[in-house]
Structure 1
Amino acid sequence: MALDLNGFPSREGPLKGVVVLDLTRVVAGPYCTMMLADLGATVIKIENPQDPDYVRTFPPMVGAEGEERSGFFAQYNRHKIGITLDLKASEGRELFLKMVGRADILVENFRPGTMQKLGLGFETLHAVNPRMVFTAISGFGQTGPHSSRPAFDNSAQAAGGLWSMNGSPGEPMRVGTIIGDLAASLYAAFGTLAALRQADASGRGQLVDISQQDSVFTLTENAVVNYTAAGKVAEPLGNDHPFVRPYGRYACLDGHVFFGAYTDKFWQEACRAFGNPEFALDPEIDSMEKRFDLAVYERRVRPIVDGWCASRTKQQLEELSADRFPMTPIKSIAEVVTDPHMLARGMIRSVAYGATHAQVFGSAVHLSDVQPEEEARAPLVGEHNDVVYAEWLALDRDHIERLRVDGVI
């Protein structure tokens, strides 16, 4: 469906013309809809006029005094149209249903049952627009005995099993990022596009049910099959690998590197690169099976790798390994942000937010026929109310002003 919003820049990309109603807040949801916007979709972020997305207050703040804006909000809301609407007001629901009739996708991340309480559940919206895809992101999903429980990212990491297997032996630790929120957003984008493709073919939309717990559970690598096949319960390994050595963190002159001899070929190449080809032929450590033996690793292999790294810097080790075998500096965020490779791939973007700009990560999706838009903006609260209500829904100015005075928008 083509959308022509006068006064708003036309979007380009494979999802050009796809209209997304975005009811999400914080990260699990806004990141999903931002990915759709990055690909050209017209995403209309709908916020309650009295209670907008509270991530707008999250640090770090950017901009001059009196004009501070949340860089965190800008990072997850670029390319979106921002409007306000109170879904609890009867007229607010009526306006929302008009939007539903013209939209292709709706994404929400309320606790299950909230949309039904508002009179805006899947069946209701499906009756208004049978072809619209309804994507719901929640902690535990729309079905099951725990579906109504509140959840945060940590809830998903705990309930999905990831927390129990991360960290050092005997000390489970959460993953150091909001992996439950991010994974749910990624699966939501993937599932939404699959449902949209089917809707385009059949004329019938469907409910896309995304659970943070489910999303985290699928990130546990071999933990599930190890348990179901062998009864082995995954535990924290620190920086070790369950069946490969050497494979982990090693100290160097100015920090640490990751080195992974995942195959005998990589081990042999590393031995040659560091001037020790004899180690590749040493009958005690010439195979992965032998090097993985903990006693052999600690007595023979680890001292070799420690010696290779201890006298060199991260840069020297990176240059030495180059394309030959995996030896990667463990980089700080400051180093990643200024990494020439990352800059060459456009992974640092400037997003305008009001009168200021925030430097944020770019899109990990690179399409050969699509170039990222030069200008990226995050919307102010209700910034595009007039554009959407006057131009798209064709409400007259007096009507819009009354809605504003009544607190509906």
Structure 2
Amino acid sequence: MADLDELNIWQSRRSGPLAGVTVLDITRVVAGPFCSMLMADLGATVIKVEHPDEPDYARTFPPFVASDEEQLSAFFAQYNRNKLGITLNLKSPDGKALLCKLVAKADILVENFRPGTMDRLGLGFETLRDINPRLVYTAISGYGRTGPNASKPAYDNTGQAAGGLWSMNGYPDRPPVRVGTIIGDLAASLYAAIGAVAALREAERTGKGQVVDVSQQDSVLTLTENAVVRYTTRQEVASPLGNDHPFVRPYGQFPCKDGYVFFGGYTDKFWAITCAMFGEPDKAMDPEIDTMEKRFDPVVAETRVKPLLDRWFSAYTKAELEEMAGDKVPLSAIKTIPEVVEDPHIAARNMIVDVPIAGRMIGMFGLPIKLSGREEEPNEKAPSPGEHNGLVFSKLLGIAEDELERLKAAGAV
């Protein structure tokens, strides 16, 4: 990218509701990169900042896509598509000075260091606010910026454990089980994106930026559904229930001919439709299971309702059951990832998108936020470390080529 026009071309390709918003992404792995990826997908110009000698170690995470020239991480690409990439050594005076120049032109900064790290570097919110009073400083961490645990190191599993979700997951007769994805990282990123956009709206209105402080523990806690109010109202402690719901029945996993389905026909209306669908409408009037309240009883659910559903569902495949249920009752096949990727409905929603990696187009999950006023655009590849140093430093900041060479030789970029 040789001139300022090319920066304008890049930004024009990032149309959407956040077009014109500049985001500095000083984050690694997922809790942070996912947050800024959402903003990039929505049109923001996101500049990913990596250390020149220690780039984001998610670049080493599988699976990899290889060409004759390179081998790249699809994991990394999934969370860093549609971003510009630069390198900065934030421990060097020159690197700090460059970041401050970028802050002057930015709307949002996202970081996921342990609280206090940016302050020790001399790049904390108070310092950066003096440079850009409108800056939205978004900080993602394990425990947040305040409280007795703020300085503790944390990972996704920390959020799952400390937020209570781990204790609820699994089966009653076994130890708790972590949720099978990095829900702490993902939830914190989602809340950070919401918080950043909300704070940006206020900064646009008042001219004043602020800190958006998001903790993995806090984020996971909000995913525990009714567990908190069950405890605060009745001192009832949520524990692993397997695939069951604490009080709604039938509402869970049921076996069929070729796998499992989720069935949630617990209301009287859905129960009656289900009984008729399987040719036994009289079951809806059985005095032992004819009301929702009766079917909620654990013993009744296990001895009367479940045997009926097992008998009905076992005669059909997942696809046959979905076709029978149609839009009449809530029933869905429990799909494998290949089945989800190849699902026609997922395709209709454009939820598997192609992203260029190592000369190939690789499918990955798309943006779940669908806006009626916007057509989704082709995705840009994830940047290589420092790929856009020339574009950002020379063209956005006006740094001369010989100065950029000096900064590179000094290890600042």
Q: TM-score, with normalisation over the residues of structure 2?
A: 0.97
Q: 1:7·1:387 contact (CA, 8 Å) conserved in 2?
A: no
1:153 aligns to 2:151 (yes or no): no
Which consecutive residues of structure 2, in runs of 5 or more, have no partner in the other structure?
A: none
Q: 1:354·1:380 contact (CA, 8 Å) conserved in 2?
A: no
Q: What is the Cα deviation at residue 64 of structure 1? A: 2.8
1:4-403 equivalent positions in 2, closer than 5 A? 5-6=7-8, 8=10, 10=12, 11-64=14-67, 66-170=69-173, 171-403=175-407
Q: Distance in 2 between matches of 1:37 and 1:186?
A: 13
Other structure's SS at 1:377 match: coil
Q: Distance in 1 between matches of 2:242 and 2:221?
A: 19
Instruction: Encode CA deviations 1:163-190: one digit per residue, 9 max, x unaligned.
Output: 0011100421110100000000000000
Q: 2:65·2:357 contact (CA, 8 Å) conserved in 1?
A: no
Amino acid at match of 1:83: I
Q: Distance in 2 between matches of 1:65 and 1:343?
A: 31
Instruction: Encode CA deviations 1:345-381: one digit per residue, 9 max, x unaligned.
Output: 1000111134333211000100001111123321111
Amino acid at match of 1:128: I
Question: Cα RMSD over matched residues?
Answer: 1.4
The percent of aligned pairs where both chains have the same amino acid is: 60
Other structure's SS at 1:237 match: coil
Q: 2:67·2:358 contact (CA, 8 Å) conserved in 1?
A: no
Q: 1:22·1:33 contact (CA, 8 Å) conserved in 2?
A: yes
Q: 1:350·1:376 contact (CA, 8 Å) conserved in 2?
A: no
Q: Distance in 1 between matches of 2:298 and 2:146?
A: 45
Q: 1:20·1:104 contact (CA, 8 Å) conserved in 2?
A: yes
Q: 1:22·1:107 contact (CA, 8 Å) conserved in 2?
A: yes
Deviates more, 1:170-179 or 1:14-23: 170-179
Deviates more, 1:300-309 or 1:370-379: 370-379
Change (3 A) 1:375 1:174: closer
Q: What is the Cα deviation at residue 6 of structure 1? A: 4.8
Q: Distance in 2 between matches of 1:408 and 1:137?
A: 25
Deviates more, 1:318-327 or 1:6-15: 6-15
Amino acid at match of 1:215: S
Amino acid at match of 2:254: Y
Q: 2:107·2:134 contact (CA, 8 Å) conserved in 1?
A: yes
Other structure's SS at 2:10 match: coil
Deviates more, 1:239-248 or 1:177-186: 239-248
Q: Distance in 1 between matches of 2:109 and 2:11?
A: 22
Instruction: Encode CA deviations 1:221-269: one digit per residue, 9 max, x unaligned.
Output: 0000110111101111111111111111111111000111231111111
Q: Distance in 1 between matches of 2:38 and 2:368?
A: 9
Q: What is the Cα deviation at residue 299 of structure 1? A: 2.1
Amino acid at match of 2:316: R
Change (3 A) 1:6 1:292: closer
Q: 2:11·2:20 contact (CA, 8 Å) conserved in 1?
A: no
Other structure's SS at 1:25 match: coil
Q: What is the Cα deviation at residue 4 of structure 1? A: 7.7
Q: TM-score, with normalisation over the residues of structure 1?
A: 0.97
Q: Distance in 1 between matches of 2:369 and 2:6?
A: 26
Q: Distance in 2 between matches of 1:148 and 1:110?
A: 10
Q: What is the Cα deviation at residue 9 of structure 1? A: 5.2
